[in-house]
Structure 1
């Protein structure tokens, strides 16, 4: 399968089976995903692997963040959750937003690789990614932000992934606007020749 085919086939899987990649398989895929464009090779990201009881700990933290009494069952919807953390580095050349883009790029690349390896993936976010309780449960540091989780599991037989509308590239790819300066000088030239 080509990269183009893999990207075109990618879909979000909201329901998955209990099958998940082993730690060794995950490490191999993360190693490849980490090759995204990364200005100054800062590696401003890290991933946290949540399996088993880790998911229950996350459920309790989400409930605390939302003010609920009973633990959230959301983290139990997949056997493996991968927390995506932007881990900002000091840099005069690479601004914070660009470092967050690198972390997001790693997550997206990893989701493609997991999909190609036969796993269903859904990237979940939410307002509680910025809550103190959830950050504390993950050990998120002072110069870090949780960007969400990749929910990973097996693709159920006979089930279809979430629907995705085709992208109208013509509506989203534009050209650089003409320079106002150039337009003014062109108008002056035209009026001078009259």
Structure 2
């Protein structure tokens, strides 16, 4: 286990393939307590998460296929995507339109921060995690399947499961900071 947030962040890897094991709701709630500490201007808590397990993943697959207007094999392929992991955690931005201090983009950024921090915490706890979205993330049929209110926007899903034997996929670490940091004085 990592001894610092930096070590955990440097060790994090997306897991495109996972096993059928998944954290239970008690574990998910505990990790979500940590993820809830993201930056949150005016303490709006502009987010919520929805755990999709079992048949809910199948309903999501059907909604994705309908949103794409897919038929036949293409629909079956889209419908199977949510079955890649035993747990999907939908991250939802809960917007307060017209807030005098916090524009909607900032509220969505806070929800995205929850998604990222939760993915880091799940990874550090030993779970395989992949953040996925796609062209139909904001489609009305997908929103309806999740039971979203008019002021809610789906950010994406964390696909969560056990790490396959062999653990994390190690990659040579890229050095990005030097090319992405600008200093103004």
Q: TM-score, with normalisation over the residues of structure 2?
A: 0.91
Question: Matches of 1:28 and 1:67 in 2, distance apart?
Answer: 38
Structure showing greater Rg: 1
Q: How many residues of Structure 1 are paired with residues of Structure 2 in the alignment?
A: 177
Compute the RMSD of aligned alpha carbons. Answer: 1.5
Question: Matches of 1:167 and 1:96 in 2, distance apart?
Answer: 33
State the match for 2:88 in structure 1.
Answer: 81
Cα distance, 1:164 vs. partner? 7.2
Matches within 5 A, 1:42-57: 42-57=44-59
Question: Matches of 2:146 and 2:179 in 1, distance apart?
Answer: 40
Alpha-carbon displacement from aligned partner over 1:75-132 (angstroms, at most 9, x marks no partner): 0000000001111024200111111110000010000110011000000010100111
Question: Matches of 2:176 and 2:36 in 1, distance apart?
Answer: 29
Structure 2 counterpart of 1:18, from 17, 20, 39: 20
Moved runs in structure 1, 4+ residues, more than 6 A?
A: none
Matches within 5 A, 1:83-162: 83-90=90-97, 91-158=99-166, 160-161=168-169
Q: Is the 8 A contact 2:130 2:160 kept in 1?
A: yes
Question: Matches of 1:47 and 1:149 in 2, distance apart?
Answer: 9
Cα distance, 1:162 vs. partner? 7.7
Which ranges of structure 2 fall in alignment gaps of 5 or more residues?
none
